[in-house]
Amino acid sequence: MCMPQYREARIALRDHAEAIALGWTMAAKARCATCLRQQQLQRAGAGKTAPGLKDALHRELLGAVCARKAAQMASSATRFHYAKVMDELMDQHAARLRRLELEQASRQEQQLELQARLPRKAVFIFDFDDTLMATTYFERTNMFAMSEVPALRRNADKELAMMQMLDRAVVDVLRASAQYGETLIVTNAGAGWVELASSQYLPRLKQFLLDSGIRVISARSSYAHIPIESASEWKVECFSDQLRSLFPAMADVNMLVFGDSIGDQYAAHCSFAKLSGRSLLKFVKFAERPTPSQLVHQLTVLRDNLPSLVSHPASFDVNVTKPTA
C-alpha cells in the first residue's frame, strides 16, 4: 500500500477509534467518518487495507485513545483526591474550632465558678512609710529639709521631680483599690504623721485623702496603752478591730495587705487567723528602704496587677524583688 493510502487509513482508523472510545451509539458509529471513508475507498477501487495492518492500526490507535482516556481519568482522580483532601482539612479545621470553643467555654465556666466562690467583701490595708512614701530615703538624703534650706532646695530639682511622680503613683494605686473595696492606711508612726508628710511632700495624696474619705489610722497612738512585746502588736490589734468593725460576722473577707516589713506580714496573718468562712489573705511585701524611683515602680506594678490580685481565688504571700534604681 502506498504512503498516501496508509496515511488516509491511519486517519480513518483514528477517527473510528475515537468515536468508539467516546461511547457513540451504534447508529452514530455506522455514520462515522472512518466507515464512510472506507466505503469511499472501496468504491473508488483504491484497494483494501491489509487485515494485519488494519488490526495493528486499530490496536495502536485504540491504545493511544485508551491512554488519553486513562490520563483524563487520572486527572479526574487527582481532582477527586484534592477535593477529598480539602474536605478532610476543612473537617479537621472545623473540629479544631469546635474544640477551641469548648475549651474557651470551659475556661469561662471555671472562671465564673471561681468568682462565685470569691469573698464579696474586700478590704485593702496599706502601710505608709517605705510603702507609700520613701521615708528612709528622704531621711538619709535630707529631703525633708529641702523645703526649709535654700541651698538644698536649689540642688534638689531631680529629687523633687521624682517626689511628684511618687505622689501621682500613690494616688493612682489608692484610687484603684478604692474601686474594689474599703481602703485603709495603717501606720505605726504617731498620729498626724501621714497628714503632715502628705501636706508637705505629697500634695496630691493630701487632697485625695480629703476627697475620698480613705481613713488613716495610727496603730501606735490607738493602742499604745496596751502592753505589747513588739511594735507589730499594735498593728495586730488595729487590723483585728478594723475587720470586726467592717465585717461583724468576721467571715468571707478578701483581705489584701501591703507593707515593707516582716511586722506587717505578721500583723496580717495574726488578724486573718480570726476570720472564718471563705476568707482569703493576700499579702504583698514591698522592698525595704526603697528609693523614690523604686517605690514608683512597685506601686505602678501593683496598680496594673490589682484586678488579678483581687480576683485570685486563693491566699498567697508575695515578696517583691527590689528593682534597680
| More confident call, 92 vs 181 | 181
Yes or no: say if 284 and 318 are a contact pair by the CB < 8 Å rule.
yes
Nearest residue to 131 (alpha-carbon basis) of 257, 295, 282, 303 = 295
| 206-242 pLDDT tens trace | 999 999 999 999 999 999 888 888 889 999 999 999 9
Beta-carbon count within 10 A of 130 CB: 20
Residues 190-211, buried b or exposed e (16+ Cβ, 10 A)? eeebbeebbeebbebbbebbee
More confident residue, 45 or 126: 126
Residues β-bridged to residue 258: 126, 284
Provide the pLDDT confidence category of residue 297 given band limits of 50, 70 and 90. Answer: very high
Query: Can you count the helices (H) and strands (E) in the chain?
Result: 13, 6
Handedness of CA 16, 18, 20, 22 (dihedral sign): negative
| Cα torsion 114, 116, 119, 125: sign | positive
CATH architecture, domain defined by 121-319:
3-Layer(aba) Sandwich (3.40)
Q: How confident is the model at residue 157 (pLDDT cuts 50, 70, 90)?
A: confident
pTM confidence score: 0.64
Rounded mean pLDDT of the chain? 79
Burial label, 74 (beta-carbon count in 10 A; 0-12, 13-18, 19+):
exposed
Q: pLDDT tens-digit profile of 168-199?
A: 999 999 999 999 999 999 999 999 999 999 99
Smallest CA-to-CA distance from 295 within 116, 136, 101 is with: 136
Q: Which residue has the cell 506580714?
A: 265
What residues contact 261, with CB distance under 8 A and at least 6 apart?
A: 127, 130, 285, 288
Three-class HEC string of 216-247: EEEHHHHHCCCCCCCCHHHHHHHHHHHHHHHC
How far is Cα 29 from Cα 139, in angstroms, rounded to an integer?
Answer: 113
Per the model's pLDDT, the better-predicted residue between 110 and 106 turns out to be 106
Write out the H or E segment, with its range, that includes residue 306: helix 292-311
In this model, does residue 1 exceed pLDDT 60?
no
The residue ranges of every structural domain in the chain are 3-79, 121-319
Q: Are 175 and 212 in contact (CB under 8 A)?
A: yes
